[in-house]
Amino acid sequence: MNAVTTSPAGAPPYTREQDDHRSSPRLNPGVDFQRHWIDDMRINLSAVERRAAAFNARRSLKREWQAAWLLKAVSCIDLTTLSGQDTTGRVRRLCAKARQPLEREILTSLGVEHLGITTAAVCVYHEMVATATAALAGCGIPVAAVSTGFPAGLSPFATRLEEIKASVSAGAEEIDIVIVGFKPAGGIGTAKDAINYLVLIKEELGDNWLGPNLFRFGASSLLADIERQLQHHVSGRYSAAYHHPLA
Partner 1 sequence: MKVAEIYNTMSYGPSPESSEQIENWLRQHRDGFQLFIGGRWVAPLASAHFDSINPANGKPLAQVAQAGAEDIDSAVAAARQAQPTWAELGGHGRARYLYALARLVQKRAREFAVLESLDNGKPIRESRDIDVPLAIRHFYHHAGWAQLLETEFPDRQPLGVVGQIIPWNFPLLMAAWKIAPALAAGNCVVLKPAEYTSLSALLLAELCEEIQLPAGVINIVTGDGSVGERLTAHDDVDKIAFTGSTDVGRRIRIASAGSGKKLTLELGGKSPFYRLRGRRSGQCRGRPGGRHMVQPGAGVLRRFEAAGAGGHSRAFAGQNKSTDAETAHW
Choose between 27 and 61: whose C-beta lies nearer to partner 1. 61
* Residue 42 contacts partner 1 per CB under 8 A: yes
Please state the closest distance from residue 129 (CB atom) to partner 1, in A: 30
Q: What are the E-state strand segments in the chain?
A: 4-6, 77-80, 121-124, 143-145, 174-177, 217-219
* Residue 16 contacts partner 1 per CB under 8 A: no
* Residue 77 contacts partner 1 per CB under 8 A: no
Please state the closest distance from residue 58 (CB atom) to partner 1, in A: 6
Choose between 76 and 129: whose C-beta lies nearer to partner 1. 76
Write b or e for each residue in 173-201: b if 16 or more Cβ atoms lie within 10 A of its Cβ, otherwise e: bbbbbbeeebbbbeebebbebbbbbbbbb
List strands edge to edge, sheet with 77-80: 4-6, 174-177, 143-145, 121-124, 77-80, 217-219
* Residue 72 contacts partner 1 per CB under 8 A: yes
Tell me the C-alpha distance between 245 and 243, whole Å.
7
Report the first-to-last Cα separation within the chain, whole angstroms: 22
| Contact yes or no for 231/82 (Cβ under 8 A) | no
Please state the closest distance from residue 199 (CB atom) to partner 1, in A: 9
* Residue 22 contacts partner 1 per CB under 8 A: no
Q: Is the preceding peptide bond at 25 cis, omega within 30 degrees of 0? A: no
Tell me the C-alpha distance between 134 and 9, whole Å.
22
Please state the closest distance from residue 43 (CB atom) to partner 1, in A: 7
- The only residue of 29, 36, 38, 44 in contact with partner 1, by rule CB under 8 A: 44
Choose between 69 and 150: whose C-beta lies nearer to partner 1. 69
- The only residue of 2, 49, 53, 115 in contact with partner 1, by rule CB under 8 A: 115
Q: Give the footprint of partner 1 on residues 198-237 (CB under 8 A).
A: 198, 202, 207, 210
Report the interface residues with partner 1, using CB under 8 A: 40, 42-44, 47, 51, 54, 57-69, 71-72, 110-112, 114-115, 198, 202, 207, 210
